Structure 1
């Protein structure tokens, strides 16, 4: 019986975590790559999950097991009406740029009922198991560990197995088959429940009596809420921090989520591999070290990333361990999960929706760290004598790790460390058994900001797309302002007014894009750029040229044009047209409306150098949109410089599929101009003759090379894409010579 319930819950969790990325990917070509789309989808899924838990709780509270089973089987039958999952054909996105309500309606109609049924399955089946009379029925929470293991399996399987092999249509059909199998398994669980419940007697009546007499007061409920809130907030906070301030990479968000779910697997297991006491004591030195190093600009990612992830893991393990310790009797199980779910939803909403509107940096992360310290259990003595050496270990870590991790020795303030921060660290360690004092000590260390040197920061803004910074670099004639989004530089300009019209960075005159604009200067009357940056391209202006910039982030437009920091747009092309919105959708929408949409002689796509790649811009359907807006003899330029993604194979396949030509140039500047950034560009045109002047303009050291498609490799479409195989790590492992 236990294996049946375990397999059913594992499959349900796998389907639950599979449908979220699958359907979000279906919607992407309709609404573009706005983070608002992802946030709205996440809010919907979390709210529906909470609704499913509420339904399960009300069912357990007001219905006997037989009626619970009948009602849930009817719900599963109704959910089949929405299968296979697809975007409703008769729903079209609005043209007012406010798709929130439309997306919520689409999600509800397309996936709402199946997702709701899946969400309710986990708590309901665990409550059913408590009535079966099985020897483990008194502890149905072990099934929660199995459920979270299924979630982890889905997270690993989707990018590695499902996405590379199946199109979205095939995924939807396979998912429907899995849902059908799940319904059959739930039916089997219901049959066993009814058979055992009707023939059981004492055990079941005793369980019901415990449920009626076991009271759960409000302090206990609020404690459940807080213990679920903090790890959920910290999950998104640490993900945002490591992707914004350390190193963003594709699928990096999966690692914290797997660790988060893994802590549930550990604490609700029959025999946890890490005890509460061990987790609580390991948490102390890890949090102290992280707090002391939090604002150091350490470059050694192999140290910094594991440190953040390890601290997050032990914080989540401690909080979830306290949840497991405080779980109620089985007949209160669904209420327990309801409060856990509510805490998770509120924690996610705080980090994803509230924090970006009240903090200009990722402040929610250190706040969640402090809150986690306040929720520590009060433990009287350490589980092992070795922990008495932790103060010395902390000192050694503070003296050694920054140097090993690449921190600039000239900026290593040892006196400040020894006289100020080290005493605070020892004080925090001394307060480890008192959560309130320990939390306040960690807050004091974090708030000191001893290593947060923001003296060169000119401006900062934060929105749906992350944190934008303008920082000053250099001195004298070489002083510049740099626009950074997270860890990626998106534009540079001299501060000297006499040099402010000189294009720098990726648009340097000696770079690939500069070569094209200078070689074909008289051919480009209509130029479009997808991805504004700071508007550097505008300083290749000449009389009669019309510029159109497409930018998805309104804050970038404000920064590039309206705040007085950068002057490329205002000095070189003040009449440039700026369209706010997703580039692909805006180009298609203008053509569909037919309001004299111009054909472009040059279309520049500069939206790929960030670490969050808008993959819907490099599909067969996307290229068809670009070609429909391209004038005869026109060129399409893709800026593909990226630390983690190799887009050459994708673009080679797209060009071959469309019957056009494509060339790539990787520019390696060897001069002393430190503001001439190396970059990779792909040039596409309908015929090789259209590209002839461009090919001839390249220096001998950096020639343009033809991109050739690999026979048998699948072309990316809106229905198919494979992120794993275009990561540079994968490409090098496969021996792909196209990797820089």
Structure 2
């Protein structure tokens, strides 16, 4: 009877612990976009804000795992008291709604302000949530003390936590965000945290009650053997594998969303695959098979490297996305599968998770903070493709001396080929095929001499790393001859491309951010002064600037691009550009002449437009613009804080009563015209859609464009051109976007425009 009762108590305690872990992981994943979206409009809505949030969450996660590792070595009673105090202190910080007192004043470093508001609003609740996974798993390990088989299954709870994170990933953008306002989400999350706190306390009490008797533990326990100390090699491997998965995730996500297709919410796919790999690898040893996933990585990594080395991006977009998602999944399965194989016993559980957290934090800081400062492109992507081969060599190290022979052979062949690359007379494909054949022969020869496929696998890994590095270097040296400038920072990677002979009338230059064009300019002495791309005279912006034009104009433009709209400037006009990315400003000045050629006075305000306009209003009053052009919605991650009721109120205060607001909404994936129309109705303005499709082969490089013009000026609305070209917009069923609630999913066009 006693044993039956203890078994029942143990099952109940395990159910409590599993519920606690699931709820904590679900809350952990929900709070990150929730809190970031609340503070985004305060600090400009830039990519830097998201990056700082990411760094904050990773650092707190690391601190939480340190805390769990330290506390797990204490008596259970001490753990219960200390953790309960942390939970109570975290509850005192609820709800997770930032205090308006933390809004920036425009003075000081914005980064400091972001970190301060995060710490004050979510610091302790996030710390309490992120410590729960490893801590509760250590409680379950105590529950099954002396039962080695059941102790080994404690890592399945880690798979459960990642399953909860995957569930949260789907629920937030597709269920919670479209339906609930941010304040309601924050209150609901805070209520969920209260439930989690109760579950955590109940779990530790249940574990304490269900603790096995000393007699039972003695029966089932093996002979006491002191735990061997962890080797530095094992801990280094955990760090490398954890960092590899994080870097690959961030690098692939950035590449496919900016360089392959600017599709909204596409970032969900790689993140879901990353979490799925954790679920599979830590659920059971059944899912991870070395014979399947290592060859997949060794095949897909060079193919992905080849794609990076093809300037024309020869694969169709769906195939390219599929290739990189498949490669990411294979890399994540390898990194997390090897982590699952190398996991220590439950006595080392919290140290294992601590090092996983440290590796993830280092990988995130490298890809999210270091790389944008020191790389001019997404070079962390080829690094993550080359790393698995080196890790494979590390795994088979010391087992076969022939691995080192093969390594030397691969280096010699690769180096000789690289030196001769520019002198090869045959086609590039034949040359690459020859090198690949030599590499395969080297692998087979090494495996045959060593009488072990482990040696061949090690050599194959080295060859893959060499091939990826080779392709990456080749892409810099020779793959893209038309690139004049390649730079990168927090806001992404930019490049200036040259078409035709520099200086020729038909030559042109284009500024690209991934696959998004920021403008193009012809190079001829006359042609370079003509507005092009989305900003020609017949575009919505051109119509707003040329209709009922006064003797002089004051124009505000959100989004500089290459400065094309400055071509409309006359003597006496003022064009004030708001540009958040200093790299764009530098490129517009150094490689394009629209700003220098303009007869108008050109001003550039560096920073987020909404934040700057608010500061200008408070310091100097209204800018009294005749026209405001809002040009920030061509990509996938649109700055929604520039298209809300609060943003419209700010624009109107800077606009003359007869002024026009021109929203540039040319976007292949989002139907934004109804959203802008609803904003116009909300503030009592009239709105018309202006579409333009140029004739094929037009000499001024004009592109098809879509604008919505908002105004209360009757003369403008009655202008014959506006009446002829203006189209009515149906905004039925569209809710007004606010800082507290916006529904990007509803604006998504499932049928993509050509």
Same fold at TM > 0.5? yes
In the other structure, the counterpart of 1:486 is 514
CA contact (8 A) 1:503 1:509 kept: yes
In the other structure, the counterpart of 2:481 is 455
Tell whether 2:744 aligns with 1:720. Answer: no
Counterpart pick for 2:693 among 659, 668, 682: 668
Q: CA distance change for structure 1 residues 201 and 484 in 2, over 3 Å: closer, same or farther?
A: farther
For 1:512 and 1:652, the matched residues in 2 are separated by 15
Alpha-carbon offset, residue 249 of structure 1: 1.9
SS at match of 1:181: helix
Q: CA distance change for structure 1 residues 160 and 4 in 2, over 3 Å: closer, same or farther?
A: same
My pick for the range that moved more, 630-639 or 422-431, is 422-431
In the other structure, the counterpart of 2:54 is 42
For 1:211 and 1:500, the matched residues in 2 are separated by 80
Q: CA distance change for structure 1 residues 524 and 160 in 2, over 3 Å: closer, same or farther?
A: farther
In the other structure, the counterpart of 1:499 is 527
Tell whether 2:114 aligns with 1:90. Answer: no
SS at match of 1:684: strand
For 1:470 and 1:580, the matched residues in 2 are separated by 20
Tell whether 2:273 aligns with 1:259. Answer: yes
For 2:649 and 2:737, the matched residues in 1 are separated by 12
My pick for the range that moved more, 476-485 or 675-684, is 476-485
My pick for the range that moved more, 203-212 or 437-446, is 203-212
For 2:218 and 2:163, the matched residues in 1 are separated by 29
Q: How does 1:535-684 map to 2 (within 5 A)?
A: 535-561=563-589, 563=590, 565-573=591-599, 575-593=601-619, 595-673=620-698, 675-684=701-710
In the other structure, the counterpart of 2:114 is 103
In the other structure, the counterpart of 2:283 is 269
For 1:211 and 1:192, the matched residues in 2 are separated by 28
Alpha-carbon offset, residue 528 of structure 1: 0.6
My pick for the range that moved more, 49-58 or 364-373, is 364-373
Tell whether 2:380 aligns with 1:369. Answer: no
Q: CA distance change for structure 1 residues 598 and 428 in 2, over 3 Å: closer, same or farther?
A: farther
In the other structure, the counterpart of 2:205 is 191
Tell whether 2:348 aligns with 1:332. Answer: yes
Normalising by structure 1, we get a TM-score of 0.89
My pick for the range that moved more, 516-525 or 261-270, is 516-525
Tell whether 2:176 aligns with 1:162. Answer: yes
My pick for the range that moved more, 572-581 or 316-325, is 572-581
Tell whether 2:737 aligns with 1:709. Answer: no
CA contact (8 A) 2:573 2:600 kept: no
1:162-189 CA deviation, whole Å, 9 max, x = no partner? 0011101110111112111112221221
Aligned-pair RMSD on alpha carbons? Answer: 2.4
In the other structure, the counterpart of 2:239 is 225
For 1:609 and 1:188, the matched residues in 2 are separated by 50
Alpha-carbon offset, residue 503 of structure 1: 0.7
Q: How does 1:193-208 map to 2 (within 5 A)?
A: 193-197=207-211, 199=213, 203=217
CA contact (8 A) 1:211 1:332 kept: no
For 2:621 and 2:472, the matched residues in 1 are separated by 56
For 1:211 and 1:341, the matched residues in 2 are separated by 28
1:511-535 CA deviation, whole Å, 9 max, x = no partner? 2222332223227621111101111
For 1:414 and 1:300, the matched residues in 2 are separated by 27
Alpha-carbon offset, residue 59 of structure 1: 0.5
Q: How does 1:6-21 map to 2 (within 5 A)?
A: 6-21=18-33
SS at match of 2:497: strand
CA contact (8 A) 1:318 1:376 kept: no
Alpha-carbon offset, residue 205 of structure 1: 11
CA contact (8 A) 2:301 2:386 kept: no
Tell whether 2:550 aligns with 1:528. Answer: no
For 2:435 and 2:723, the matched residues in 1 are separated by 59
SS at match of 1:477: coil
CA contact (8 A) 1:208 1:331 kept: no
SS at match of 2:481: coil
Alpha-carbon offset, residue 137 of structure 1: 2.8
Q: Could you tell me which runs of 5 or more consecutive residues in structure 2 were left unpaired when the two chains were aligned.
A: 1-10, 397-424, 444-455
CA contact (8 A) 2:575 2:600 kept: no
CA contact (8 A) 2:569 2:600 kept: no
Counterpart pick for 2:365 among 336, 349, 362: 349
SS at match of 1:131: helix
My pick for the range that moved more, 436-445 or 348-357, is 436-445
Alpha-carbon offset, residue 5 of structure 1: 2.5
Alpha-carbon offset, residue 340 of structure 1: 0.6
Alpha-carbon offset, residue 448 of structure 1: 3.4
In the other structure, the counterpart of 2:72 is 60
Alpha-carbon offset, residue 275 of structure 1: 2.1
My pick for the range that moved more, 45-54 or 552-561, is 552-561
Alpha-carbon offset, residue 144 of structure 1: 0.3
1:646-690 CA deviation, whole Å, 9 max, x = no partner? 111211211111111111112111243061100000000125444
For 2:691 and 2:539, the matched residues in 1 are separated by 9
CA contact (8 A) 1:524 1:601 kept: no
Alpha-carbon offset, residue 9 of structure 1: 1.1
Q: CA distance change for structure 1 residues 106 and 200 in 2, over 3 Å: closer, same or farther?
A: farther
CA contact (8 A) 1:644 1:728 kept: yes
Alpha-carbon offset, residue 442 of structure 1: 3.6
In the other structure, the counterpart of 1:697 is 721
CA contact (8 A) 1:424 1:445 kept: no
Alpha-carbon offset, residue 339 of structure 1: 0.4
In the other structure, the counterpart of 1:150 is 164
CA contact (8 A) 2:556 2:629 kept: yes
CA contact (8 A) 1:282 1:314 kept: yes
1:6-53 CA deviation, whole Å, 9 max, x = no partner? 222111111001000000000011111221111111100000000000
For 2:57 and 2:280, the matched residues in 1 are separated by 25
Alpha-carbon offset, residue 479 of structure 1: 1.0
Alpha-carbon offset, residue 235 of structure 1: 1.1
Alpha-carbon offset, residue 450 of structure 1: 9.3
1:559-611 CA deviation, whole Å, 9 max, x = no partner? 112x1x21111111463111111111111111111x25421111111111233
For 2:76 and 2:592, the matched residues in 1 are separated by 67
For 2:48 and 2:23, the matched residues in 1 are separated by 30
Aligned residues: 692
For 2:741 and 2:92, the matched residues in 1 are separated by 25
Q: CA distance change for structure 1 residues 18 and 338 in 2, over 3 Å: closer, same or farther?
A: same
Normalising by structure 2, we get a TM-score of 0.87
